[in-house]
């Protein structure tokens, strides 16, 4: 499971005295623990871990933009390192062609015909891609396809 892999990597980073890596993984483990407490479960499913990681990635991207605007290069470097570390735990992303194919299949299955059906299509596509694609990209592709 992904949670176990993160824990193993955290222990390895601690043993290697890699403070940047261990700090980032410690923070991630704390966020995963929050999910465990919130849902009152023993083990967090991979899909929930992926959603935690995606939230953390979004925060890092926002921070990087703000630090660049403030000319704080050392913080940009730190956040970029953490961003790349977090991305390494995500499943392999789907290509745009694969996403298009899934979107086309879902539109055919749901018989969506207009932009009004976007919510229904996005929900079904989301279930099929299960965190393996950026939602903004998926949203744009669905919007283009339904507008055509």
Per residue in 84-94, pLDDT (tens digit) is 999 999 888 88
More confident residue, 136 or 22: 22
Q: Identify the sign of the CA torsion 73, 77, 79, 84.
A: positive
Q: What is the CATH number of the domain that holds 51?
A: 1.10.1510.10
- Where residue 59 falls among pLDDT bands split at 50, 70, 90? very high
Q: Which two tokens stand for residue 99?
A: 């996403």
**Residue 136, pLDDT above cutoff 90:** no
Same domain, 11 and 83: yes
Q: What is the CATH number of the domain that holds 126?
A: 1.10.10.410
**Residue 131, pLDDT above cutoff 80:** no
Same domain, 79 and 56: yes
Round to whole Å and give the CA distance between 111 and 142.
13
Q: What pLDDT score was predicted for residue 124? A: 87
**Residue 128, pLDDT above cutoff 80:** yes
Round to whole Å and give the CA distance between 25 and 140.
32
Same domain, 72 and 101: no
C-alpha separations of 30 from 61, 68, 144 in Å: 20, 27, 39
Q: What pLDDT score was predicted for residue 96? A: 87
For residue 67, what are the domain limits? 2-87
**Average confidence (pLDDT) over 132-148:** 84
Q: What pLDDT score was predicted for residue 61? A: 93
Q: What pLDDT score was predicted for residue 13? A: 95
- Where residue 129 falls among pLDDT bands split at 50, 70, 90? confident
pTM: 0.71
Q: What pLDDT score was predicted for residue 113? A: 82
DSSP state of 115: G
């Amino acid at each position: 499971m992904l949670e176990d892999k993160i824990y193993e990597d955290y222990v390895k980073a601690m043993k290697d005295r890699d403070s940047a890596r261990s700090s980032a993984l410690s923070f991630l483990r704390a966020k995963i623990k929050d999910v465990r407490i919130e849902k009152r479960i023993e083990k967090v499913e991979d899909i929930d871990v992926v959603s935690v990681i995606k939230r953390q990635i979004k925060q890092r991207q926002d921070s990087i933009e703000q630090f660049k605007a403030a000319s704080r290069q050392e913080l940009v470097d730190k956040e970029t390192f953490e961003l790349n570390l977090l991305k390494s735990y995500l499943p392999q992303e789907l290509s745009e062609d694969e996403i298009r194919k899934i979107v086309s299949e879902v539109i055919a299955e749901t018989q969506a015909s207009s932009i009004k059906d976007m919510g229904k299509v996005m929900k079904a596509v989301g279930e099929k891609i299960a965190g393996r694609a950026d939602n903004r990209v998926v949203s744009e592709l669905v919007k283009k396809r339904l507008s055509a």
